[in-house]
Chains A and B, each alone.
Chain A
């Protein structure tokens, strides 16, 4: 067992290297796994990571699946930076989809330009309302937002199930548990003919920039960062703890709600009992792999989206179970958390030359205790 010792300061290099190390370890483990399953590992990797991107349609699907991950991941990253741990983005996404879908169904058949923006606002509001519940309970009763937001995921999903099997079921839908299809005025415009990618991907890119601007240039973002890093310093500076919790949850809830709207008004085109393959949960991994930085979230979303796509092609071409996607996602987070220890610690060297250290020691004559 090697000895670890605390670094004098956190390592910036490890901060960026850690996601790469995690990705490499994930690939090595996957290699062993494919070998054990009797699949040729290199071919499996080609099927998993390269083949989906060999066609224009594949690339379109890649960006399409990355979009909800970017949206949820950006919001969660802002919250996590402020130490507000909303892990219920999946539920907020569902409620956003329900609210947007409700607006779409109410105005179904009308051909007006304002319906789509209204659906967007409804989606954001739906996510926010769902995130407001843990925010209220945390600021009023000091409950854990982690537990409350997680439990509300299942409430939201069951509520969606109730709606599509009951009051909102399509009367002409042969009793399938789904609503009417949305009309063209209620669907997000496509980026290119023949692809399913729509303008919500462009919107997500704009929000990457906005989110960077918020957390790095605006004082409000700085306040949230201080609240996350050192709550006592935030109190000392007079930054309100309540405002921090509310903002973090409303921002992440609103973004997740928008992602939900993008799904139902995009590739799905109606409300169904299940509208997300776990984007809200995968976004937690996205936020951390992306180092809680907007650009990192963008890259991590593309990686996670590729895992979803690769999982599908692997099911079709290799006959692997769909659980392989979740497995790779889990491995990635697992290795990331393990590699992160080297940001603050390093393996202790047996002997270090005294002279080399002395030059530093004279600059910082601090007692270690």
Chain B
């Protein structure tokens, strides 16, 4: 790298991007120096992703200028960005599952390289940077962490001078995160600049040299994260201190949800087969299931909610009733309530009003009489949910699709809680939700547990599970570890289990 260190590698001046009714970025300045790991910190909805898409040429800014190595540039497309030396690893990977690693990489390269040579170069790069990848392996057989390596290797083959990583650790075990950090530090030492996007304060303090903090599309601070405290970073990110959950010990009662030797073959060729899953959740208890996405969470949740029937009725028992063969509505009548991971299109219908969305799962609760919808009852129920859970919206007639992710999640969680569950299952309760709303949702779940409801939470955020769960289990490759009390385990232990190595450990814990 023979560029003088005095020039920044990338400089943004006054970048503004406006979407209908939302200002995604307003007057954003950003400077990234060569060989620097620069964090872009902000909570969900702060405008981080939009800013990165502007740099990578996916979208164009409405105002502002961009300087690349001291020259003004207008990046027309991602291909143009790659030619300039910008690489990006997206949060959601863009890989074809039915193709091999080498085939996937060759599709994304702007130049044509003979297959044998390409495989050779993939191996070289992957060994050099400690990113083991077999070029001939089919992508569908790879774990999420391995796929991320493919994405990084694909970027590295273009010899980038700026690598953008969008929330890269949400798909990794804590151990894999440390390995990724080594790779990134190594790249930075060689002069490659890295833009690291995250809302996780610990990671940014551990990894980054400098940070630009965004809130509501505007820059609220530029700082060196290692010299800041968690509190001062949080102050800049959300405008106040990080909220804490209140949770006291509780004596659990009778078993409300029992998963009993659940085996379920998947019909999706890229799905996960569930193997001999056992778990019990008792009244007044919150149990968490950790694991990297794609390890059977989707299949397990569908089997519990009734969207997918179990092979034996006894495989899923709700309040003592064998429910494996019942449909979702019948399971609701037994007291089961479920908040799915996808809010729009599954938990709610985007083009219907909040009132009608309230009706979606509440038809057995006095809102339908003799087949007729009782609109006054439906609307007053929806208004109750909106008030109680502080849902910011234009009233019960607002379309579900017009709400922000956090507000819609509050509405859906609120709807299910207000329907007096005996068993509550929640998938990714705070995924994509801002800090304030996340806090409200977690506290509502804790209160539910305190009232004696059996709560099962499936989440990829380990920190969250340790915050609110009495016991934690790990799902890996369709198998579920025993659930251990959160107080008696550690992030490292759970992290190891996430890679599927829990047979030996599990035995030890049970006999301890």
Contacts and interface: CB of A to CB of B under 8 A. Distances in A.
Interface in A198-232: 217-220, 222, 225-226, 229-230, 232
Interface in A222-249: 222, 225-226, 229-230, 232-233, 235-240
B64 to A, nearest CB: 13
A239 B327 CA distance: 9
B307 A367 contact: no
Contacts of A229: 349-352
Contact of B20 (A8, A217, A230, A236): A8
A233 B22 contact: no
Contacts of A140: none
A7 interface: yes
Contact of A219 (B22, B305, B340, B373): B373
Contacts of B305: 236
Contact of B328 (A236, A360, A361): A236
A367 B328 contact: no
A142 interface: no
Interface string B34-52: 0000000000111111100
B276 interface: no
A354 interface: yes
Contacts of A43: none
B97 interface: no
Nearest to B44: A367
Q: Which of A5, A10, A233, A235 has the largest count of B CB atoms less than 10 A from its CB?
A: A233
Nearest to B24: A368
Interface in A319-362: 346, 352, 354, 357-358, 360-362
A234 B331 CA distance: 15
A236 B345 CA distance: 10
Given A240-B327, A369-B49, A233 B363 contact: no
A202 B373 CA distance: 27
A172 interface: no
A365 interface: yes
B189 interface: no
B57 to A, nearest CB: 15
Nearest to A346: B20
A352 B18 contact: yes
Interface string B212-224: 0000110000000
Contact of A233 (B18, B45, B327, B360): B360
B22 A368 contact: yes
Given A217-B372, A361-B23, A367-B24, A238 B327 contact: yes
A363 B398 CA distance: 13
A219 B363 contact: yes
Interface string B70-92: 00000000000000000000000
B347 interface: yes
Interface residues of B, number: 56
A65 B59 CA distance: 52
Interface stretch (B178-186, B401-409, B446-454, B473-481): B401-409
B392 interface: yes
A238 B372 contact: no
Nearest to A10: B351
A1 interface: no
A73 B405 CA distance: 38
Contacts of B216: 361-362, 365
A6 B338 CA distance: 32
B140 to A, nearest CB: 22
Contacts of B351: 10, 229-230
Given A8-B402, A361-B23, A236 B346 contact: yes
Contacts of A10: 351
Contacts of A235: 307, 328, 346
Interface string B293-315: 00000000000011100000000
Contacts of A346: 20
A126 B103 CA distance: 55
A8 B394 CA distance: 14
A364 B404 contact: yes
Contact of B22 (A7, A9, A239, A366): A366
B49 A236 contact: no
A260 B354 CA distance: 41
A226 B371 contact: no
Interface in B428-445: 434
Contact of B47 (A230, A239, A240, A367): A367
Interface residues of A, number: 38
Interface in B169-190: none
Nearest to B47: A367
A238 B330 contact: yes
Contacts of B20: 5-8, 346
Contact of A365 (B22, B306, B340, B349): B22
Interface string B1-37: 0000000000000001011111110100000000000
B348 interface: yes
Nearest to B46: A367
A364 B349 contact: no
A236 B349 CA distance: 11
Contacts of A220: 371
Given A219-B371, A226-B349, A364 B329 contact: no
A200 B198 CA distance: 66
Contacts of A226: 349, 352, 360
Contact of B23 (A217, A233, A239, A358): A358
A9 B346 contact: no
Contacts of A9: 399, 401-402
Contact of A360 (B16, B22, B356): B22
Nearest to B361: A237
Nearest to A237: B360
Contacts of B22: 8, 357, 360-361, 364-366, 368
A235 B340 CA distance: 11
B372 A230 contact: no
B342 interface: yes
B369 to A, nearest CB: 9
A240 B356 CA distance: 18
B29 to A, nearest CB: 17
A303 to B, nearest CB: 26
B349 A230 contact: yes
Given A236-B328, A364-B21, 19 more contacts: A8-B21, A9-B402, A10-B351, A218-B372, A232-B346, A233-B347, A235-B307, A236-B346, A236-B347, A238-B328, A238-B329, A240-B327, A358-B23, A361-B22, A362-B216, A364-B404, A365-B45, A367-B46, A368-B50
7 contacts: A217-B372, A230-B350, A357-B22, A364-B404, A365-B45, A367-B48, A369-B50
Interface of B: 16, 18-24, 26, 44-50, 53, 216-217, 305-307, 327-332, 338, 340, 342, 345-352, 356, 359-361, 363, 368, 371-373, 392, 399, 401-405, 434
The 7 closest A-B pairs by CB, nearest first: A238-B329, A238-B328, A366-B404, A232-B346, A360-B21, A367-B45, A8-B21
Interface of A: 5-10, 217-220, 222, 225-226, 229-230, 232-233, 235-240, 346, 352, 354, 357-358, 360-369
